[in-house]
Amino acid sequence: MAQHAAPLPSTYGATRQRPVLRRLFGRDWKIGFVFIAPIVLLMTVFIAWPFIRALYTSMTIRNVTTRTDVFVGLDNYIRLYSDPFYRQAVRATVIYTLGSISAKLVFGMIAALLLHGQKRLRNLLTGLILLPWIVPSVVQALTWKSIYDPLFGGLNPILMWLGIIDQPMSWLSDPRTAMAAVITVNVWAGIPFFTVNMLAGLSAIDKEMYEASEIDGANAWQQFTQITLPSLRYVIAVATLLSTIWTFNGFETVWLLTQGGPGNMTKVYSILAYQKAIGSLQFGPGTAVAFSLTPVLAGFILLLSRYMRRDVSREEMDVVTWQDRVIDAIGWVIGMIGNIIAFPIILVGSAIGKLLPQGRTASKKRNERMMTILRGVGLAFMLLFVLFPFYWIIVTAFKSELQITQRVDIFWPTPWTTEQFYKLFYEKPFFLWFQNSAIVAVTTTALAVFIAALGAYALARLQFLGASIMQTLLLIVYLLPGALMFIPLYGILSELGVINTRWALILTYPTSMIPFATWLLMGYYRAIPEELEHAAMVDGATRMQAFLRVTLPLTTPALLAVTLFSFTAAWKEYLFAFVFISSQRLMTLPVGLAQSIFGDIYPWGLLMAASLLISIPVVIFYMYGQRFMVAGLTAGSVKG
């Protein structure tokens, strides 16, 4: 055992000959900088520099005569606040975000409570609930656009049959219903994220707390408000903040559904920024639109960063900072909203409970049977809402063009035909789009996983200057809106000569994948006992060898989760591919599918056939690694 007392090799970082550098840069500064260099390089070239460049661009205006950019200071921002189109865009963004988040929080909590009480088939049901979250955004939008279609869609016939409406409605063309229709699509796609996170939080609550409260005579409402909601405070806050940032920055769904219409009712700020910068070539004013709401996003990001990097030791020492008070206030507000929303549900549940027999064992069994039935009914309605769009994709894809236009047997193909797939394969460059998506997705996934694995290890294990700051920066980078970055990135990629090539996507996609993958892997690295690496280094291994031979093999589940997330993100991505690629032979599947629409003519059969084929690779990949995806979604959700 004497050899274990020997000093560790120099792979720990600085050598004894350079104590000054070791004090300045940290114990592991040498190897740490090697591990972190790829992320730093990527963030500098494709995040930091574009951000600085965008900030400068937002203070310029294009001189049409000389074709040069003229510096105008804050004039672009000043003009925005007197621009009615900008004020309408901000208003639309706020309505879209608040409406979507409120509904996702409500239905996500209901779905989680229903699934938590479901003992059988929970994994299968959870997998079905997750489906809307994993399919590409273009599939989400076009599917619902088809359902909303006033002539050929499936929503109007259902509502007319139920007696809710007496004539077909143009859901996306009517200013009175367009925003609600767009919010519904976002809610449908976002419920899974809330559901899985809250389901993880519910599973972590000690059952003895409920048993003790029952002994004390607490009813269902008291258990929900005094045990469930307080226990879910952290999960709800993180999920709500993340979803708020994503929704606030949303572009693809609204653009594909309405392009900001009708009458600018759904034109959120990201669409206005795109139309000004790319559509009208007003890069300065367009970038100013994207930057104008950065302070709001910065507030959300800083709060989220504080929440996700809570220091348990500080909490144990009862050290409360002003950030903690702000976060607690937000948690209290969200909790009150949850109480208000849940109150009618609890009242109904309590009323049903009072109608059931009480006291005897047989009665308790009947009560449990009745609650199982009610839970099953609730799950059935939830699954109907979640799965109906997928059913619509399938039945529409196997209809003939004549059957679609004549509106015969709307909800069932008569007969089933592969006519749409034939058109897709032989009249459209579908296989070329598929090849482009596969090349970009596989390449960027490999690059993202490799860089994230190195960077996460350095941040989780090694001590070097700037490690703590880097963790916060990674979260900020991950949450930067695409509407803010695509404008300067377009200019940089043009200067590099890679615009309208696959390299434009391969170089930019990892900027959104790597930060999240790094955060996810950091949690797994910290869960692995560091003593295993120490033992390997005592036996003569270098830090790199210990990482490759000991730590990395133990993180295989985490690497699979990261691979799954990265591939799904690359396969789904629309905005960068839409802006950076104009050649049809280089288009990815989402962009190629969207480009199949000619003006107001929507070949619904062909679009649904393509949507089905686009979704299949992701669904297969997801089915294989479902448990890793769920683990990735819930990683850290119930910690702290």
Q: Which phi and psi (to 5°) does residue 585 adopt? A: -75, -10
Whether 418 is in a domain gets the answer: no
Model confidence pLDDT, tens digit, residues 356-389 = 454 444 455 665 677 677 777 888 888 899 899 9
Integer Cα distance of 435 and 588 in angstroms: 8
Whether 566 is in a domain gets the answer: no
First to last CA, the chain: 37
Stretch 200-212: mean pLDDT, rounded? Answer: 78
Give the residue from 297, 298, 292, 277 showing the smallest Cα distance to 488: 277
**pLDDT at residue 14 tops 50:** no
Helix (H, G, I), strand (E, B) or coil at 409: coil
Q: What is the DSSP string of 31-76?
A: HHHHHHHHHHHHHIIIIIHHHHHHHHHTTEEEETTTTEEEE-TTHH
Q: What is the pLDDT of residue 639?
A: 39
Whether 328 is in a domain gets the answer: yes
Integer Cα distance of 640 and 316 in angstroms: 11
Whether 24 is in a domain gets the answer: no
Instruction: With beta carbons less than 8 A apart as the criterion, state whether 176 and 116 touch.
Output: no
The letter for the amino acid at 497 is G
Integer Cα distance of 611 and 594 in angstroms: 10
Q: What is the pLDDT of residue 214?
A: 74
Of residues 118 and 10, the one with the higher pLDDT is: 118
Whether 401 is in a domain gets the answer: no
Stretch 212-241: mean pLDDT, rounded? Answer: 75
Whether 350 is in a domain gets the answer: yes
Q: Which of 87-91, 508-512, 590-594 has the highest mean predicted lDDT (pLDDT)?
A: 87-91
Q: What is the DSSP string of 310-342?
A: --HHHHHTT---HHHHHHHHHHHHHHHHHHHHH
Whether 269 is in a domain gets the answer: yes
- Between 41-55, 84-98, 205-219, the lowest mean confidence (pLDDT) is in 205-219
Integer Cα distance of 184 and 180 in angstroms: 6
Integer Cα distance of 335 and 331 in angstroms: 6
Integer Cα distance of 556 and 60 in angstroms: 48
The token duo for 170 is 């143009």
Instruction: With beta carbons less than 8 A apart as the criterion, state whether 487 and 543 touch.
Output: no
Burial class of residue 429 (count of CB atoms within 10 Å of its CB; 0-12, 13-18, 19+): middle
Q: Angle at CA 387, nearest 5°, toward 381 and 392?
A: 125
Whether 67 is in a domain gets the answer: no
CATH number of the domain bearing residue 82:
1.10.3720.10
The letter for the amino acid at 446 is A
Could you give the number of structural domains in the chain? Answer: 1
Can you list the alpha helix ranges (DSSP code H) found in 407-466?
419-427, 430-461
Domain span including residue 289 = 76-395
Integer Cα distance of 271 and 279 in angstroms: 10
What's the mean pLDDT when you consider all of the chain?
79
**pLDDT at residue 612 tops 60:** yes
Strand bridging mode 60-63 / 68-71: antiparallel
Model confidence pLDDT, tens digit, residues 308-358 = 555 433 444 445 555 556 656 655 665 565 556 555 555 555 555 555 454
Model confidence pLDDT, tens digit, residues 249-271 = 888 889 889 988 888 899 998 89
